[in-house]
Amino acid sequence: MRYLPHTDEEITEMLQVVGVDNLEDLYKSCPRGCCTITDMDLPDPLTEWELNRHMDELTAGMGASPEYKVFLGAGSYDHFIPSAVQYLLSRSEFITAYTPYQPEISQGTLQAIYEYQTLVTWLTGMDVANASMYDGASGLAEALLMSIRVARRKKVAVSTAIHPHYRQVVNTYFSPTEYEVVEIPYLENGRTDISRIGNLDELAGVAVQSPNFFGCVEDLGALGDIVHSDPKTLMVVAFSEPMTYGLLKNPGSLGADIVCGEGQSFGIPRSFGGPGLGMFAAKQKYVRNMPGRLIGQTLDKDGQRGFVLTLATREQHIRREKATSNICSNQGLCATASAMYMATVGGTGLRDLARLNYDKNEYLKNELAQAGFSLPFNSPTFNEFVVKFPDGFENTYQKLLEKKIVAGLALENYYPELPGCYLLCATETSTREDLDILVKEVTS
């Protein structure tokens, strides 16, 4: 209790009010076995300059330092962030942006979220978007729960080519419920085996990721035809790289009912894995089953444009039994950053950036193929792809780390059937020289 800002006299007065003699008495209800009664084994305190030196030493030992060449994506991607985004986001009007508890007097925050929602609908090709979820994984879990509410069924199908962490979050959401999650395997070409869907009855929703965890672009058109052969089943499309839709057709144009995914690529640094934001959009007819918040535009009594909290589906705002989720934060600052990024880059810029990402990925993939390495999957890819290295590559991987090169992600931990396979990523931040160095190092 050494950091309490109260004086001893104030503490004594408060203890008298609650009827105890000392601070320890406040914890009498806690079993002694759950309490730590020994002093914490902490190092001695550091001065400010000693702490700075300590942090610098820790940073020097991390592979994410700027001097490293990192060919690792797998759900978190390195993109250039325009200086305008970083500058605007640092302004005090935005940096404190959070859930507006008195929304109608938080017009700046509401307008920023409204613009974000508008840009997300444009990106995904959907009718409505909410004020963001926690991340892409929670967005997928909420999308599947939403499909259950809409279809009034208890079973969903999820592709095994979806990011393993996303599927883990889905299972965490669903494990204490009566709902069933069926996994759909992937084919030899890296795409989901959508033919399996026809053998499953009474599905509330079918979820795929495109591009999927292997970087392979799914055939969403064909998927939509199969899913919608049952009018009650919803097609859920997830993503971890929104840059894709600057080049490829968006899910809304291919029949998706719900689109969700991670928006980190748009103006948010990787920051060792967080924070990010979950983008979430759906068709208009499902709007009242959406989780989170939805900001709308209206006119006040004087005819002036205003922004309002149109839908707030959390139990905090409405009767608990009517709530669609317990999502309690709109990731306001991250959503604002992504809106600034999309507005700054624009439609043409996003298309050019997506093309550049695609070209970098294809160049690296082709160079490795010409060097004699196997590419297990032959489907079209975006930003990342799978390559199979020869036995013993683990030693080469460690040697490359010593040379400050991170040569992708080993897939065997997530997919035991893919030993020796690595997921490599190339974005616009990788120069041709960087790509050539990687090819040279893995072939030497």
The confidence band for 325, taking pLDDT boundaries of 50, 70 and 90, is confident
Is 179 exposed, middle or buried, given 0-12, 13-18 or 19+ CB atoms closer than 10 A? middle
Q: What residues pair up with 87 in beta bridges, in sequence order?
A: none
- pLDDT tens digit string along 277-295? 999 999 999 999 998 888 8
99: pLDDT strictly greater than 60: no
Query: Which residue has tokens 């093309």?
Result: 355
Of the listed ranges 301-315, 345-359, 381-395, the one predicted with least confidence: 301-315
In angstroms, the CA 323 to CA 314 distance is 5
User: Exposure string (b/e) for 274-297, b if CB count within 10 Å is 16 or more?
Assistant: eebbbbbbbbeebeebbbbbbbee
Average pLDDT score over residue span 355-373: 96
| Res 29: pLDDT | 87
In angstroms, the CA 283 to CA 146 distance is 12
In angstroms, the CA 321 to CA 309 distance is 20
| Res 6: pLDDT | 84
315: pLDDT strictly greater than 60: no
**Hey, what amino acid is at 144?**
L
| Res 366: pLDDT | 96
- pLDDT tens digit string along 173-203? 999 999 999 999 999 999 999 999 988 999 9
The confidence band for 4, taking pLDDT boundaries of 50, 70 and 90, is low
pTM summary value: 0.87
Structural domains present in the chain: 1-31 (no CATH), 69-81+346-443 (3.90.1150.10), 83-342 (3.40.640.10)
- pLDDT tens digit string along 30-58? 888 888 778 888 889 899 999 999 998 88
| Res 320: pLDDT | 66
| Res 331: pLDDT | 77
The confidence band for 318, taking pLDDT boundaries of 50, 70 and 90, is low
Residues 6+ apart with CB under 8 A from 131: 113, 116, 117, 292, 293, 294, 295, 330, 332, 335
% of the chain with per-residue pLDDT over 70: 93
Which of 91-105, 308-322, 329-343 is modeled with the greatest confidence?
A: 329-343
In angstroms, the CA 245 to CA 243 distance is 6
Residue 357 near residue 435 (C-beta atoms within 8 A): no
| Res 96: pLDDT | 64
Residue 220 near residue 196 (C-beta atoms within 8 A): no
Query: Which residue has tokens 């931040």?
Result: 429
Average pLDDT score over residue span 126-150: 94
pLDDT: which is higher, 61 or 17: 17
| Res 310: pLDDT | 83
pLDDT: which is higher, 152 or 7: 152
Distances (CA, A) of 375 to 41, 385, 389, 418: 51, 8, 9, 12
Residues 6+ apart with CB under 8 A from 205: 143, 144, 146, 147, 148, 151, 156, 157, 233, 234, 235, 236, 257, 258
The overall average pLDDT reported for the chain is 90
Average pLDDT score over residue span 395-418: 94
129: pLDDT strictly greater than 90: yes
pLDDT: which is higher, 301 or 350: 350
Question: Any idea of the CA torsion for 67, 73, 76, 79, to the nearest 10 degrees?
Answer: 60
The confidence band for 1, taking pLDDT boundaries of 50, 70 and 90, is very low
Of the listed ranges 56-60, 195-199, 261-265, 350-354, the one predicted with least confidence: 56-60
Residue 234 near residue 226 (C-beta atoms within 8 A): no
Strand order in the sheet with 384-388: 384-388, 421-425, 409-410
In angstroms, the CA 362 to CA 265 distance is 19
Query: How many Cβ atoms are within 10 Å of 253's Cβ, its own excluded?
Result: 14
Q: For residue 411, how far is the Cα from the chain centroid?
A: 19
Residue 313 near residue 287 (C-beta atoms within 8 A): no
User: Exposure string (b/e) for 101-128, b if CB count within 10 Å is 16 or more?
Assistant: eebeebeebbebbbbbbbbbbbbbbbeb
In angstroms, the CA 338 to CA 276 distance is 10
The confidence band for 236, taking pLDDT boundaries of 50, 70 and 90, is very high
Instruction: Give the total residue count for the chain.
Output: 444
pLDDT: which is higher, 227 or 34: 227
328: pLDDT strictly greater than 50: yes
% of the chain with per-residue pLDDT over 90: 71
